[in-house]
Structure 1
């Protein structure tokens, strides 16, 4: 049996939401981005119109403080339409785990390059 120990949510520095889109859903992604910026104290990352890093589809990132989780995530749930969104913590325990076992998907899970995330954790590539 696995050795179990509880992790404490205060160890989470912030959350990231990766909003994935394609040419047909880009207008919805733009609207959602605008709404997030107007309604919440979030940091809006750059648009990536091609897959980048571990992400298999175009996306942008939204970073937000832990105390906003209960507002931002329900807003994303209710307004994402057909967009797929990855929500993960920045726990300090590693990018690979934060993007996979400590993550939640709104919509359909998309493939991630977990080896790339492991290389970030090993210091071989920048985050």
Structure 2
């Protein structure tokens, strides 16, 4: 298991966040268990467990919605429990391009995103 390095660890700077957990056929059971725990223990909104590509994500993923109030408890727990899963954590500011670039942090290895779907700032 790899943890985020201190210089790349998520920082609580925004009011709202998404965490996108990436998985594959071998890890779908692991991510399903994580999502059940996140919903029941943290009370966070868990999106669909997409076994297809959705949005800018080039791997299967599930989205978790949370706020700055949940950040300090949820992020360290997620980092400890994710195993080998890679997770994108980003602020939700209304600028989707910046949210997925400037406001993005990774737990695990960065996953290439299809940023062409977002309007790039001028």
TM-score class, shorter: 0.7 to 0.9
What TM-score, normalized by structure 2, do the two folds share?
0.84
Q: Which runs of 5+ in 1 are unaligned?
A: 1-8, 122-127
Runs of 4+ in 1 over 4 A off after TM superposition: none
Per the TM alignment, residue 13 of structure 1 is displaced from its structure 2 partner at its CA by 3.6
Question: What residue in structure 2 maps to residue 66 of structure 1?
Answer: 68
Contact 1:21 1:59 in 2 (8 A): yes
Alignment root-mean-square deviation, CA: 1.4
Post-superposition Cα deviations, 1:68-110, rounded to whole Å, max 9, x if no partner, equal: 1001100111000011100001123x10111112110001101
Equivalent residue in structure 2 for 1:30, among 29, 32, 37: 32
Q: What pairs with 1:2-81 in structure 2 (closer than 5 Å)? A: 9=13, 12-81=14-83
Question: What residue in structure 2 maps to residue 5 of structure 1?
Answer: none
What TM-score, normalized by structure 1, do the two folds share?
0.81
Q: Higher relative contact order at CA 8 Å, sep ≥6: structure 1 or structure 2?
A: 2
For these two proteins, the number of residue pairs brought into alignment is 109
Question: What residue in structure 1 maps to residue 103 of structure 2?
Answer: 102
